[in-house]
Amino acid sequence: MDNQDIQKEFLTVDSALRPSGWGDYVGQDKIKENLRVILSAAKARNEACDHLLFYGQAGLGKTTLAHLVTNELGCGLKVTSGPALEKMGDLAAVLSNLEERDALFIDEAHRINKNIEEVLYPAMESRKLNLIIGKGPGARTVSLDLPSFTVIAATTRVHLISGPLRSRFGASFKLDYYDNPAIEQIVRRSAGILKMNLDDNAIARIALASRFTPRAANRLLKRVRDYAEVHGVSAVSDDVVKKTFDMLDIDPLGLELLDRRYLELIAKKFNGGPVGINSVAAAMNDNAENIEEVVEPFLIMLGFLHRTSAGRVVTPDGYAHIGLPPPQTRLI
């Protein structure tokens, strides 16, 4: 996916449900308080905002915060991602299109390669784009001035961002999982935008299965809307939500087929663990990074899985959830 595709997707996906102001953004109150101070100070000084780093699990609102920051500053927003910045020319193309005080949003910042980082450092610090022209003894460096701009980076794996890059950000914020009352508030707001009529029990069931994230809550709400429209249901009850989830193989706590398969595999094939992630990935015919980023965080949050120095271990609660008895002894 190139930068134009990323920009288009960023601006269109779930745009109707995305909060447009701080008053609509539920949760992350400490982050909002700090951002208001940083942004107000930047506006008062008539300067570009300091570079910002948002990190946390997928679906917690990092992209939405980038939107709100630029809305507050009244500046333009350019969008790219770590994997899209493969060559120096990719970064140069993005930076050279920035206007004064624009924001550059870089998703999956942990996947920026080291060569690109070396070019990004002076751009972030000194507003300079240093390009190497030619090869060998005749190569020379050309330095181009850049306008004042703000990098807003987002990542789910902050530990993979290098120390030198992380030190260039003026402020870093970790987004936490949401609690059920906050998710219910988000579902109510989104249901109003989608013109859906849900009772309290239906909202509570969606919130409970939302994996503690606004993105999952909105995704489930839209699937419930699809089911209700196809079946001619105008008032969505708890039973309608349950039937939707049954159709999607989503259990009451939000575990999907992949999550349950993961737990059952470790429980049955590896005696509950400990087992290494590469062994699990090979047995599931999946990518280890995908399992670590998509599957495991939610299971750990629920207390169904432990990551130990020896490997992954299914907990007694994890066994209870999949309806299996825990082992009397574990593999060593």
Active site residues: 62-63, 107, 156, 215
30 burial type by CB count under 10 A (0-12 exposed, 13-18 middle, 19+ buried): exposed
Please tell me the distance from the alpha carbon of residue 217 to that of residue 186, in angstroms, as a whole number: 8
Nearest-angstrom CA–CA distance, 217 and 211: 8
Contacts of residue 258, defined as CB under 8 A and 6 or more positions apart, other chains included, come to: 294, 295
Query: What is the spatial distance between Cα 94 and Cα 105, in angstroms, rounded to a whole number?
Result: 11
- Tell me, rounded to whole angstroms, the distance of Cα 271 from its chain centroid: 32
User: Minimal CA–CA distance to 225: which of 20, 9, 16, 6?
Assistant: 16
Q: Give kind and range of the element (H or E) at residue 59.
A: none
Q: How many of the other CB atoms lie within 10 Å of CB of 282?
A: 11
Work out the number of other CB atoms within 10 angstroms of the CB of residue 129. Answer: 20
CA angle 255, 238, 316 (to 5 degrees): 30
- Residue that has been written with the tokens 């570009």 in this structure: 48
